[in-house]
């Protein structure tokens, strides 16, 4: 347990006098990524492709990956326990647990039910929510469910916990360098430093076979790369239009006479399949602003010199190099200011699927001071193939004083770069062998993983065995062992008091001051 804990903000009175919980959103955020990675530049050489194909063409530097010791259950167990420990939260203080993932290892049993084993000591089984699946959008759907619960008559005053996790792997070929792995856990409740803009969501959902996983015996997806990009950009266009129209309607009611544009976002982040698409996506939104402006200034400013593109039709420009080049140039400064810092994890770890956009949010928070973030509106575009997408926004609290909720959130992510730098680099050959091992052992019964436990970060849950009935057993690597994660973290096992629910005084449970170094848990019978 962590010695120096973050006190969670309080909430509305338990009497329920307030008609609506105030500032519902993200209170705490934790990120987990694997302890090993492969360099994309070395992967280019290994794959025999042109130099810069991955590092420049995709704008990817490193890719994290899992051995056969980790699966979706272990990723989520790890990130949830880290969030609870680092924030000194009692498991009794959580009333809803939602999981968003597309990494399916069981067609019936949810990942959420596996995570519930962490709640057993507390005795809390009154926890709503299950898994949500639709490619990379599942984490956002889970987050919306959690926010909606807190803002509903069903809310009992406790926190909601949202977990997004995935292992993104591809068959050998051009898509493989767009892989990655990881998990993000978010604590949702009122009085949050990152509060949702109520009613401001632009959603677009449509049927397409751009990326899908019809083979239940394989981790690998079927991908139509060109169609996937077209779906992504068309969804972005439509979500932004709906979002902007809702802002305009709200402003009209408030007597505000102005047009919404990207300038109204302090930061703009996107689901990141690869970093270059994110840069193109920001340029795409500038194109939208340009075409929707009845009188754009093409003499100076961001639209300078773009008059030749005044009459283009968005649906005809998805692969128009002239449009792309012109608007990427026009948006270059805005990209540096509003979006580039969001790509830290994406660039260094790769595409995490459902946690991708929330890794981007964590990257923004980790690389700015509370004062730099305070008061800003952050635009968030979430996309999942098949396809489903939403553009929404969160408002950062104005309170950036020492000890504030925002200050504590920023502090909790301040070691992000240290953690990324502390990972172990492996050769492309070792990476390829790990991918081959995962491919050959995927969904095997009566299997014991071969990967090294010693290579995992301290505190990581890992798979110990799959029995003949496909029941999985897990153990946790001790937090007391020396390892890369300890850089920048206090791993003391002395616990301070747990923080109860936000609006409801829950019984407190004592911290574990002693116990076995490795605790075994399973997803089958006990």
Whether the CB-CB separation of 71 and 472 falls below 8 Å is answered with yes
Residue from 381, 389, 384, 378 nearest 353 by CA = 384
Question: Residue 384 forms beta bridges with which residues?
Answer: 388
Q: What is the DSSP string of 466-516?
A: E-TT--EEEEE--TTS--GGGTT--------PPB--SSS-PPP-----S--
Exposed (0-12), middle (13-18) or buried (19+): which is 322, by Cβ within 10 Å?
Answer: exposed
Helix/strand/coil percentages in the chain, nearest 5: 35, 20, 45
Look up residue 410 and give its DSSP letter.
H
**Residue 167: other Cβ atoms inside 10 A:** 26
Annotated catalytic sites, by residue? 102, 136, 271
Give the pair of three-digit tokens for residue 469.
Answer: 């009935």
Sequence-separated (6 or more) residues with CB below 8 Å from residue 443: 105, 217, 470
Look up residue 262 and give its DSSP letter.
G
Sequence-separated (6 or more) residues with CB below 8 Å from residue 336: none
Q: Which amino acids are annotated as binding site for CoA, given as ranges? A: 228, 276, 280
Q: Which amino acids are annotated as binding site, given as ranges? A: 228, 276, 280
Give the pair of three-digit tokens for residue 113.
Answer: 């039910």
Distance CA 78, CA 32 (A): 7
Whether the CB-CB separation of 75 and 165 falls below 8 Å is answered with yes
């Amino acid at each position: 347990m962590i010695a120096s804990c973050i006190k969670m903000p309080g909430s509305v009175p338990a009497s329920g006098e307030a008609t609506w919980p105030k500032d519902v959103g993200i209170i705490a955020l934790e990120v987990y990524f694997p302890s090993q990675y492969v360099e994309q530049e070395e992967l280019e050489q290994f794959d025999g492709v042109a130099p810069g194909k991955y590092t420049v063409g995709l704008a990817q530097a490193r890719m994290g990956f899992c051995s056969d010791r980790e699966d979706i259950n272990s990723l989520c167990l790890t990130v949830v326990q880290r969030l609870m420990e680092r924030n000194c939260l009692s498991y009794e203080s959580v009333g809803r647990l939602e999981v968003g993932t597309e990494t399916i290892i069981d067609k019936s049993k949810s990942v959420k039910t596996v995570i519930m084993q962490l709640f057993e000591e507390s005795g809390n089984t009154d926890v709503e929510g299950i898994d949500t699946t639709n490619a990379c959008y599942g984490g956002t759907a889970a987050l919306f469910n959690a926010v909606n619960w807190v803002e509903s008559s069903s809310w009992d005053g406790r926190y909601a916990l949202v977990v997004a996790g995935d292992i993104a792997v591809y068959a050998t070929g051009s898509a493989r360098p767009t892989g990655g792995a990881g998990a993000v856990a978010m604590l949702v409740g009122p009085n949050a430093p990152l509060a949702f803009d109520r009613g401001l969501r632009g959603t677009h959902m449509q049927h397409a076979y751009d990326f899908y996983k019809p083979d239940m015996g394989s981790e690998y997806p079927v991908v139509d790369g060109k169609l996937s990009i077209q779906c992504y950009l068309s969804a972005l266009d439509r979500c932004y239009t709906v979002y902007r129209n809702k802002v305009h309607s709200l402003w009209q009611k408030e007597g505000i006479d102005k047009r919404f544009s990207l300038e109204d976002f302090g930061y703009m982040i996107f689901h990141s399949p690869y970093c270059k698409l994110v840069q193109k996506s920001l340029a795409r939104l500038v194109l939208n602003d340009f075409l929707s402006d009845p009188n754009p200034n093409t003499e100076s400013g961001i639209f300078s010199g773009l008059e030749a593109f005044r009459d283009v039709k968005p649906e005809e420009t998805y692969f128009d190099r002239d449009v792309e080049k012109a608007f990427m140039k026009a948006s270059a400064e805005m990209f540096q200011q509003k979006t580039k810092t969001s790509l830290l994890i994406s660039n260094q770890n790769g595409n995490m699927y459902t946690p991708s956009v929330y890794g981007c949010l964590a990257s923004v928070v980790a690389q700015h001071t509370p004062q730099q973030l305070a008061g800003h509106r952050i635009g968030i575009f979430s996309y999942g193939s098949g396809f489903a997408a939403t553009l929404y926004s969160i408002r950062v609290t104005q309170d950036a004083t020492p000890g504030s909720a925002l200050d504590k959130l920023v502090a909790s992510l301040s070691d992000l770069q240290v953690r990324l730098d502390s990972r172990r680099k492996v050769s492309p050959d070792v990476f390829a062998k790990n991918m081959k091992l995962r491919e050959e052992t995927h969904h095997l019964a009566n299997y014991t993983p071969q990967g090294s436990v010693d290579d995992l970060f301290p505190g990581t849950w890992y798979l110990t065995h799959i029995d003949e009935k496909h029941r999985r057993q897990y153990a946790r690597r001790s937090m007391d062992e020396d390892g890369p994660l300890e850089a920048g973290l206090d791993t003391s096992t002395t616990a301070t008091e747990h923080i109860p629910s936000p609006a409801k005084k829950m019984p407190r449970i004592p911290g574990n001051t002693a116990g076995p170094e490795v605790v075994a848990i399973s997803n089958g019978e006990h």
